Structure 1
Protein backbone atom coordinates (compact mmCIF):
# COMPACT_ATOMS: atom_id res chain seq x y z
CA UNK A 1 0.00 0.00 0.00
CA UNK A 2 1.15 3.51 -0.69
CA UNK A 3 2.05 6.05 1.96
CA UNK A 4 -0.13 9.11 2.35
CA UNK A 5 3.07 10.98 1.62
CA UNK A 6 2.27 10.45 -2.05
CA UNK A 7 -0.54 12.91 -1.64
CA UNK A 8 1.54 15.69 -0.18
CA UNK A 9 5.04 15.37 -1.57
CA UNK A 10 6.49 15.24 -5.06
CA UNK A 11 8.88 12.43 -4.24
CA UNK A 12 6.86 9.58 -2.76
CA UNK A 13 8.27 6.46 -1.14
CA UNK A 14 7.86 3.18 -2.95
CA UNK A 15 5.20 0.77 -1.75
CA UNK A 16 6.35 -2.17 0.30
CA UNK A 17 4.47 -4.53 -1.99
CA UNK A 18 3.93 -4.50 -5.74
CA UNK A 19 0.86 -2.60 -6.90
CA UNK A 20 -0.32 -1.68 -10.38
CA UNK A 21 1.31 1.39 -11.93
CA UNK A 22 -1.79 3.54 -11.61
CA UNK A 23 -3.01 6.11 -9.14
CA UNK A 24 -4.86 4.98 -6.04
CA UNK A 25 -8.37 6.15 -5.29
CA UNK A 26 -8.34 7.65 -1.79
CA UNK A 27 -11.09 8.09 0.79
CA UNK A 28 -9.89 9.08 4.23
CA UNK A 29 -10.57 11.12 7.34
CA UNK A 30 -7.78 12.73 9.33
CA UNK A 31 -7.54 14.08 12.87
CA UNK A 32 -4.77 16.57 13.64
CA UNK A 33 -3.63 17.30 17.21
CA UNK A 34 -3.38 20.82 18.58
CA UNK A 35 -0.31 22.91 17.75
CA UNK A 36 2.83 21.49 19.34
CA UNK A 37 1.17 18.20 20.31
CA UNK A 38 1.58 14.74 18.81
CA UNK A 39 -0.28 11.45 18.78
CA UNK A 40 1.08 8.64 20.94
CA UNK A 41 -1.66 6.03 20.67
CA UNK A 42 -4.39 4.98 18.26
CA UNK A 43 -6.55 1.95 19.05
CA UNK A 44 -9.97 0.55 18.32
CA UNK A 45 -11.89 -2.05 16.37
CA UNK A 46 -12.62 -2.43 12.67
CA UNK A 47 -15.30 -4.61 11.08
CA UNK A 48 -14.12 -6.40 7.93
CA UNK A 49 -16.58 -5.77 5.09
CA UNK A 50 -17.43 -8.41 2.48
CA UNK A 51 -14.55 -8.70 0.01
CA UNK A 52 -16.05 -8.74 -3.52
CA UNK A 53 -13.03 -10.28 -5.25
CA UNK A 54 -9.25 -10.38 -5.22
CA UNK A 55 -7.96 -6.87 -5.71
CA UNK A 56 -5.92 -4.01 -4.34
CA UNK A 57 -8.23 -3.16 -1.47
CA UNK A 58 -6.34 -1.61 1.45
CA UNK A 59 -8.40 -0.53 4.45
CA UNK A 60 -6.59 0.85 7.46
CA UNK A 61 -6.21 3.14 10.42
CA UNK A 62 -2.79 4.74 10.64
CA UNK A 63 -0.47 7.32 12.17
CA UNK A 64 1.29 9.62 9.68
CA UNK A 65 4.31 11.67 10.75
CA UNK A 66 4.60 15.41 10.19
CA UNK A 67 7.56 14.98 7.81
CA UNK A 68 5.45 12.69 5.57
CA UNK A 69 8.06 9.95 5.62
CA UNK A 70 5.52 7.17 6.04
CA UNK A 71 2.56 5.69 7.89
CA UNK A 72 2.45 3.29 10.83
CA UNK A 73 -0.56 1.21 9.88
CA UNK A 74 -2.31 -2.12 10.39
CA UNK A 75 -3.72 -2.88 6.94
CA UNK A 76 -6.69 -5.03 5.93
CA UNK A 77 -5.44 -6.31 2.57
CA UNK A 78 -7.66 -8.00 -0.02
CA UNK A 79 -5.26 -8.65 -2.88
CA UNK A 80 -5.19 -12.45 -2.45
CA UNK A 81 -8.96 -12.82 -2.57
CA UNK A 82 -9.18 -13.28 1.21
CA UNK A 83 -8.64 -10.60 3.84
CA UNK A 84 -5.31 -10.41 5.69
CA UNK A 85 -4.66 -7.97 8.56
CA UNK A 86 -1.06 -7.01 9.30
CA UNK A 87 0.77 -4.08 10.99
CA UNK A 88 3.80 -2.28 9.61
CA UNK A 89 5.46 0.90 8.35
CA UNK A 90 4.95 2.17 4.84
CA UNK A 91 6.88 3.34 2.96
CA UNK A 92 9.81 5.59 3.80
CA UNK A 93 12.15 2.91 5.13
CA UNK A 94 11.88 -0.50 3.47
CA UNK A 95 14.29 -1.99 6.02
CA UNK A 96 11.55 -1.82 8.65
CA UNK A 97 9.83 -5.18 8.38
CA UNK A 98 6.10 -5.87 8.51
CA UNK A 99 4.90 -7.91 11.43
CA UNK A 100 2.93 -11.10 11.23
CA UNK A 101 -0.76 -10.96 10.47
CA UNK A 102 -4.10 -12.64 11.01
CA UNK A 103 -6.50 -14.24 8.55
CA UNK A 104 -9.85 -12.47 8.37
CA UNK A 105 -13.31 -13.52 7.23
CA UNK A 106 -16.08 -11.26 6.00
CA UNK A 107 -17.74 -9.57 8.97
CA UNK A 108 -14.99 -10.39 11.47
CA UNK A 109 -14.34 -7.83 14.20
CA UNK A 110 -10.69 -6.86 14.32
CA UNK A 111 -8.78 -5.05 17.05
CA UNK A 112 -5.83 -2.72 16.56
CA UNK A 113 -3.57 -0.82 18.94
CA UNK A 114 -0.62 1.36 17.94
CA UNK A 115 1.19 2.95 20.88
CA UNK A 116 4.46 4.46 22.02
CA UNK A 117 5.99 2.10 24.56
CA UNK A 118 6.50 3.01 28.20
CA UNK A 119 10.21 3.68 27.64
CA UNK A 120 9.51 6.02 24.74
CA UNK A 121 11.86 4.05 22.48
CA UNK A 122 9.54 2.28 20.01
CA UNK A 123 6.01 2.11 18.68
CA UNK A 124 4.25 -1.19 19.14
CA UNK A 125 1.34 -2.48 17.07
CA UNK A 126 -1.01 -5.27 18.11
CA UNK A 127 -3.80 -6.66 15.93
CA UNK A 128 -6.31 -9.40 16.58
CA UNK A 129 -9.34 -11.23 15.23
CA UNK A 130 -12.10 -11.68 17.82
CA UNK A 131 -13.71 -14.64 16.03
CA UNK A 132 -10.57 -16.76 15.64
CA UNK A 133 -8.69 -15.50 18.68
CA UNK A 134 -5.57 -15.04 16.56
CA UNK A 135 -3.26 -12.07 16.99
CA UNK A 136 -0.02 -10.55 15.73
CA UNK A 137 2.40 -7.89 16.92
CA UNK A 138 5.09 -5.63 15.55
CA UNK A 139 7.50 -3.24 17.24
CA UNK A 140 9.42 -0.63 15.26
CA UNK A 141 11.97 2.06 16.24
CA UNK A 142 9.72 5.00 15.38
CA UNK A 143 9.97 6.98 18.61
CA UNK A 144 11.68 9.84 16.76
CA UNK A 145 8.60 10.33 14.56
CA UNK A 146 6.23 13.18 15.37
CA UNK A 147 2.88 11.65 14.49
CA UNK A 148 0.50 14.52 13.74
CA UNK A 149 -2.16 12.69 11.71
CA UNK A 150 -4.53 9.92 12.82
CA UNK A 151 -6.10 8.53 9.66
CA UNK A 152 -9.09 6.29 8.82
CA UNK A 153 -8.41 5.25 5.22
CA UNK A 154 -9.75 3.39 2.22
CA UNK A 155 -7.07 2.99 -0.47
CA UNK A 156 -8.12 1.39 -3.75
CA UNK A 157 -6.09 0.68 -6.87
CA UNK A 158 -7.82 -0.76 -9.92
CA UNK A 159 -10.94 -1.58 -7.91
CA UNK A 160 -14.02 0.36 -6.83
CA UNK A 161 -15.55 1.00 -3.42
CA UNK A 162 -17.93 -1.92 -3.86
CA UNK A 163 -17.90 -3.46 -0.40
CA UNK A 164 -20.24 -1.17 1.54
CA UNK A 165 -19.45 0.86 4.68
CA UNK A 166 -16.21 0.58 6.61
CA UNK A 167 -16.98 0.60 10.34
CA UNK A 168 -14.60 1.51 13.17
CA UNK A 169 -15.76 1.17 16.79
CA UNK A 170 -14.49 1.95 20.29
CA UNK A 171 -11.75 4.19 18.97
CA UNK A 172 -9.25 5.83 21.32
CA UNK A 173 -6.73 8.41 20.10
CA UNK A 174 -4.23 9.87 22.55
CA UNK A 175 -2.11 12.99 22.16
CA UNK A 176 0.34 14.88 24.29
CA UNK A 177 -0.68 18.27 25.65
CA UNK A 178 -3.70 19.85 27.30
CA UNK A 179 -5.81 21.15 24.40
CA UNK A 180 -8.64 18.76 23.52
CA UNK A 181 -10.16 20.94 20.79
CA UNK A 182 -9.02 18.59 18.02
CA UNK A 183 -11.04 15.72 19.48
CA UNK A 184 -14.31 17.65 19.50
CA UNK A 185 -13.80 19.00 15.98
CA UNK A 186 -14.74 17.25 12.75
CA UNK A 187 -11.86 15.43 11.03
CA UNK A 188 -10.54 16.55 7.66
CA UNK A 189 -12.35 14.75 4.81
CA UNK A 190 -9.89 14.40 1.92
CA UNK A 191 -11.31 16.08 -1.20
CA UNK A 192 -14.77 15.85 0.37
CA UNK A 193 -14.82 12.39 -1.19
CA UNK A 194 -16.48 10.40 1.59
CA UNK A 195 -19.86 10.32 3.28
CA UNK A 196 -19.26 9.50 6.92
CA UNK A 197 -20.80 9.53 10.39
CA UNK A 198 -19.11 9.87 13.78
CA UNK A 199 -20.84 9.29 17.11
CA UNK A 200 -20.11 9.25 20.82
CA UNK A 201 -17.14 11.62 21.02
CA UNK A 202 -15.64 12.60 24.37
CA UNK A 203 -12.29 13.91 25.60
CA UNK A 204 -10.53 13.65 28.93
CA UNK A 205 -7.33 15.25 30.19
CA UNK A 206 -4.79 13.57 32.47
CA UNK A 207 -1.06 13.86 33.08
CA UNK A 208 -0.39 16.22 30.15
CA UNK A 209 -2.30 13.89 27.86
CA UNK A 210 -5.55 14.09 25.88
CA UNK A 211 -7.59 10.90 25.56
CA UNK A 212 -10.15 11.12 22.76
CA UNK A 213 -12.79 8.38 22.78
CA UNK A 214 -15.12 7.81 19.82
CA UNK A 215 -17.89 5.21 19.83
CA UNK A 216 -17.98 4.83 16.06
CA UNK A 217 -16.49 6.18 12.84
CA UNK A 218 -18.25 4.92 9.71
CA UNK A 219 -16.98 5.61 6.20
CA UNK A 220 -20.33 5.06 4.52
CA UNK A 221 -19.85 5.50 0.79
CA UNK A 222 -17.99 7.59 -1.80
CA UNK A 223 -19.32 10.95 -2.96
Structure 2
Protein backbone atom coordinates (compact mmCIF):
# COMPACT_ATOMS: atom_id res chain seq x y z
CA UNK A 1 0.00 0.00 0.00
CA UNK A 2 1.20 3.50 -0.64
CA UNK A 3 2.94 5.12 2.30
CA UNK A 4 0.30 7.76 2.98
CA UNK A 5 -2.39 5.07 3.04
CA UNK A 6 -0.35 3.07 5.56
CA UNK A 7 -0.20 6.14 7.78
CA UNK A 8 -3.97 6.51 7.50
CA UNK A 9 -4.60 2.96 8.64
CA UNK A 10 -2.11 3.39 11.47
CA UNK A 11 -3.81 6.56 12.68
CA UNK A 12 -7.27 5.03 12.50
CA UNK A 13 -6.39 2.10 14.69
CA UNK A 14 -4.81 4.36 17.35
CA UNK A 15 -1.54 2.47 17.45
CA UNK A 16 1.74 3.79 18.73
CA UNK A 17 3.84 5.30 15.96
CA UNK A 18 6.72 3.09 17.07
CA UNK A 19 4.82 -0.12 16.24
CA UNK A 20 6.47 -2.19 13.52
CA UNK A 21 4.05 -2.86 10.67
CA UNK A 22 4.46 -5.61 8.09
CA UNK A 23 2.33 -5.63 4.94
CA UNK A 24 1.26 -8.43 2.64
CA UNK A 25 -1.32 -7.70 -0.03
CA UNK A 26 -2.57 -8.37 -3.52
CA UNK A 27 -3.97 -5.42 -5.46
CA UNK A 28 -6.02 -4.99 -8.63
CA UNK A 29 -6.18 -1.60 -10.38
CA UNK A 30 -8.67 0.00 -12.73
CA UNK A 31 -7.22 0.49 -16.24
CA UNK A 32 -7.51 4.30 -15.90
CA UNK A 33 -9.01 6.92 -13.61
CA UNK A 34 -12.26 7.09 -15.60
CA UNK A 35 -13.11 3.58 -14.38
CA UNK A 36 -13.96 2.61 -10.81
CA UNK A 37 -14.87 -0.45 -8.81
CA UNK A 38 -18.59 -0.63 -8.04
CA UNK A 39 -18.68 -3.99 -6.24
CA UNK A 40 -16.26 -6.16 -4.26
CA UNK A 41 -17.53 -9.36 -2.67
CA UNK A 42 -16.16 -12.69 -1.43
CA UNK A 43 -16.29 -15.46 1.14
CA UNK A 44 -13.46 -14.98 3.66
CA UNK A 45 -12.29 -18.00 5.66
CA UNK A 46 -10.99 -17.05 9.11
CA UNK A 47 -7.68 -18.74 9.92
CA UNK A 48 -7.13 -20.17 13.38
CA UNK A 49 -6.00 -17.32 15.63
CA UNK A 50 -2.82 -18.38 17.47
CA UNK A 51 -2.74 -15.58 20.06
CA UNK A 52 -4.12 -12.17 20.97
CA UNK A 53 -2.06 -9.78 18.85
CA UNK A 54 -2.48 -6.96 16.35
CA UNK A 55 -3.49 -8.90 13.27
CA UNK A 56 -5.69 -7.10 10.74
CA UNK A 57 -6.88 -9.16 7.78
CA UNK A 58 -9.06 -7.38 5.27
CA UNK A 59 -10.42 -6.85 1.81
CA UNK A 60 -10.78 -3.20 0.90
CA UNK A 61 -11.05 -0.48 -1.71
CA UNK A 62 -8.73 2.50 -2.02
CA UNK A 63 -9.49 5.68 -3.94
CA UNK A 64 -7.56 7.53 -6.64
CA UNK A 65 -6.30 10.15 -4.18
CA UNK A 66 -5.29 7.49 -1.60
CA UNK A 67 -7.30 9.47 0.96
CA UNK A 68 -8.20 6.30 2.85
CA UNK A 69 -9.43 2.72 2.66
CA UNK A 70 -12.98 1.34 2.73
CA UNK A 71 -12.46 -2.04 4.34
CA UNK A 72 -13.90 -5.06 6.16
CA UNK A 73 -11.39 -5.81 8.91
CA UNK A 74 -10.90 -9.10 10.75
CA UNK A 75 -9.22 -8.01 13.99
CA UNK A 76 -7.32 -10.41 16.28
CA UNK A 77 -6.36 -8.12 19.16
CA UNK A 78 -8.78 -9.60 21.72
CA UNK A 79 -7.72 -13.20 21.14
CA UNK A 80 -10.96 -13.86 19.21
CA UNK A 81 -11.45 -12.69 15.64
CA UNK A 82 -13.90 -9.81 15.26
CA UNK A 83 -14.97 -8.51 11.84
CA UNK A 84 -16.53 -5.17 11.00
CA UNK A 85 -16.76 -2.61 8.20
CA UNK A 86 -15.48 0.93 8.11
CA UNK A 87 -13.70 3.80 6.41
CA UNK A 88 -10.14 4.53 7.46
CA UNK A 89 -9.40 7.18 8.45
CA UNK A 90 -10.50 10.75 7.71
CA UNK A 91 -11.81 12.91 4.85
CA UNK A 92 -14.53 12.07 5.78
CA UNK A 93 -14.49 11.05 9.43
CA UNK A 94 -17.07 8.26 9.77
CA UNK A 95 -18.11 6.00 12.62
CA UNK A 96 -17.04 2.38 12.31
CA UNK A 97 -19.79 -0.06 11.41
CA UNK A 98 -21.12 -3.03 13.33
CA UNK A 99 -19.69 -6.52 13.37
CA UNK A 100 -19.44 -9.84 15.18
CA UNK A 101 -16.98 -12.42 16.50
CA UNK A 102 -15.71 -15.05 14.08
CA UNK A 103 -14.41 -18.51 14.98
CA UNK A 104 -11.37 -19.93 13.24
CA UNK A 105 -12.02 -21.94 10.05
CA UNK A 106 -15.48 -20.43 9.60
CA UNK A 107 -16.56 -18.41 6.57
CA UNK A 108 -17.93 -14.87 6.44
CA UNK A 109 -19.63 -13.60 3.29
CA UNK A 110 -18.66 -10.01 2.51
CA UNK A 111 -20.47 -7.70 0.09
CA UNK A 112 -19.37 -4.14 -0.65
CA UNK A 113 -21.68 -2.52 -3.21
CA UNK A 114 -22.02 1.01 -4.58
CA UNK A 115 -25.78 1.33 -4.14
CA UNK A 116 -26.36 4.82 -5.58
CA UNK A 117 -24.64 8.15 -6.19
CA UNK A 118 -24.31 8.72 -2.43
CA UNK A 119 -23.72 5.45 -0.62
CA UNK A 120 -21.79 2.22 -0.48
CA UNK A 121 -23.42 -0.62 1.46
CA UNK A 122 -21.46 -3.25 3.39
CA UNK A 123 -23.09 -6.54 4.34
CA UNK A 124 -21.40 -9.17 6.50
CA UNK A 125 -23.07 -12.56 6.88
CA UNK A 126 -22.17 -15.68 8.82
CA UNK A 127 -24.87 -18.25 9.46
CA UNK A 128 -27.83 -16.42 11.01
CA UNK A 129 -25.78 -13.29 11.74
CA UNK A 130 -26.01 -10.38 9.31
CA UNK A 131 -24.72 -6.84 9.77
CA UNK A 132 -25.39 -4.10 7.22
CA UNK A 133 -23.84 -0.62 7.25
CA UNK A 134 -24.07 2.29 4.84
CA UNK A 135 -21.20 4.70 4.16
CA UNK A 136 -21.55 7.95 2.13
CA UNK A 137 -18.52 7.25 -0.05
CA UNK A 138 -19.85 7.18 -3.62
CA UNK A 139 -18.07 10.44 -4.42
CA UNK A 140 -14.79 8.54 -4.01
CA UNK A 141 -13.35 6.96 -7.17
CA UNK A 142 -12.21 3.56 -5.90
CA UNK A 143 -9.55 2.49 -8.37
CA UNK A 144 -7.81 -0.19 -6.26
CA UNK A 145 -9.13 -3.44 -4.76
CA UNK A 146 -6.97 -5.14 -2.13
CA UNK A 147 -6.77 -8.39 -0.19
CA UNK A 148 -4.51 -7.46 2.69
CA UNK A 149 -2.71 -8.69 5.79
CA UNK A 150 -1.56 -5.93 8.14
CA UNK A 151 0.56 -7.02 11.10
CA UNK A 152 1.95 -4.96 13.98
CA UNK A 153 4.90 -6.48 15.88
CA UNK A 154 3.70 -10.01 15.13
CA UNK A 155 4.59 -12.58 12.47
CA UNK A 156 2.34 -14.25 9.91
CA UNK A 157 1.88 -17.30 12.13
CA UNK A 158 -1.77 -18.18 11.47
CA UNK A 159 -1.38 -20.18 8.26
CA UNK A 160 -3.13 -19.51 4.94
CA UNK A 161 -5.68 -16.75 4.44
CA UNK A 162 -8.31 -18.00 1.98
CA UNK A 163 -10.83 -16.00 -0.04
CA UNK A 164 -13.44 -17.83 -2.12
CA UNK A 165 -15.89 -16.61 -4.75
CA UNK A 166 -14.18 -13.25 -5.18
CA UNK A 167 -16.22 -10.94 -7.43
CA UNK A 168 -15.15 -7.50 -8.62
CA UNK A 169 -17.29 -5.27 -10.83
CA UNK A 170 -16.05 -2.20 -12.66
CA UNK A 171 -17.67 0.34 -14.99
CA UNK A 172 -15.44 -0.43 -17.97
CA UNK A 173 -15.44 -2.75 -20.96
CA UNK A 174 -11.73 -3.46 -20.59
CA UNK A 175 -10.82 -6.88 -19.22
CA UNK A 176 -7.03 -7.10 -18.86
CA UNK A 177 -7.22 -5.76 -15.30
CA UNK A 178 -9.04 -8.99 -14.40
CA UNK A 179 -7.14 -11.55 -16.45
CA UNK A 180 -3.69 -10.20 -15.56
CA UNK A 181 -2.04 -11.14 -12.26
CA UNK A 182 -2.64 -8.72 -9.38
CA UNK A 183 0.16 -6.66 -7.91
CA UNK A 184 1.93 -8.65 -5.18
CA UNK A 185 3.28 -5.92 -2.90
CA UNK A 186 7.08 -6.25 -2.61
CA UNK A 187 6.66 -9.84 -3.89
CA UNK A 188 6.11 -10.59 -0.20
CA UNK A 189 3.23 -13.07 -0.46
CA UNK A 190 3.17 -16.66 -1.65
CA UNK A 191 -0.25 -17.28 -3.14
CA UNK A 192 -2.24 -19.43 -5.51
CA UNK A 193 -5.23 -18.21 -7.48
CA UNK A 194 -7.85 -19.75 -9.73
CA UNK A 195 -7.99 -18.54 -13.32
CA UNK A 196 -10.21 -15.44 -13.41
CA UNK A 197 -13.46 -15.59 -15.38
CA UNK A 198 -14.43 -12.30 -17.00
CA UNK A 199 -17.63 -11.09 -18.64
CA UNK A 200 -18.89 -7.71 -19.87
CA UNK A 201 -22.48 -6.52 -20.19
CA UNK A 202 -23.98 -3.04 -20.53
CA UNK A 203 -20.64 -1.36 -19.92
CA UNK A 204 -19.92 -3.28 -16.71
CA UNK A 205 -17.14 -5.86 -16.48
CA UNK A 206 -17.40 -8.61 -13.88
CA UNK A 207 -14.31 -10.48 -12.72
CA UNK A 208 -14.91 -13.75 -10.82
CA UNK A 209 -12.14 -15.69 -9.08
CA UNK A 210 -13.14 -18.95 -7.39
CA UNK A 211 -10.17 -19.07 -5.00
CA UNK A 212 -7.38 -16.81 -3.77
CA UNK A 213 -5.15 -18.58 -1.24
CA UNK A 214 -2.55 -16.37 0.44
CA UNK A 215 -0.44 -19.25 1.72
CA UNK A 216 2.31 -17.43 3.63
CA UNK A 217 5.28 -15.08 3.34
CA UNK A 218 7.33 -15.54 0.17
1-structure distance, mates of 2:91, 2:152 = 22
C-alpha spacing 1:175/1:24, structure 2 compared with 1 (3 Å): same
1:1-223 alignment runs, 5 A limit:
4=1, 7-9=2-4, 12-13=7-8, 15-20=11-16, 21-35=18-32, 36-93=34-91, 95-117=93-115, 119-130=116-127, 133-223=128-218
Structure 2: unaligned runs, 5 residues or longer: none
C-alpha spacing 1:90/1:207, structure 2 compared with 1 (3 Å): same
Task: Give the CA deviation at 1:10.
Answer: 8.9
Report the 3-state secondary structure (helix = DSSP H, G, I; strand = E; otherwise coil) of the residue aligned with 1:111. Answer: strand
Maintained 8 Å contact 1:102/1:128: no
1-structure distance, mates of 2:200, 2:111 = 20
Moved more, 50-59 or 32-41: 32-41
TM-score by length of 1: 0.92
Task: Give the CA deviation at 1:16.
Answer: 2.4
**Number of residues paired by the alignment?**
215
CA RMSD of aligned residues (A): 1.5
Task: Give the CA deviation at 1:12.
Answer: 3.4
1:163-187 Cα shifts (integer Å, max 9, x gaps): 0000000010000111011000000
Maintained 8 Å contact 1:86/1:100: yes
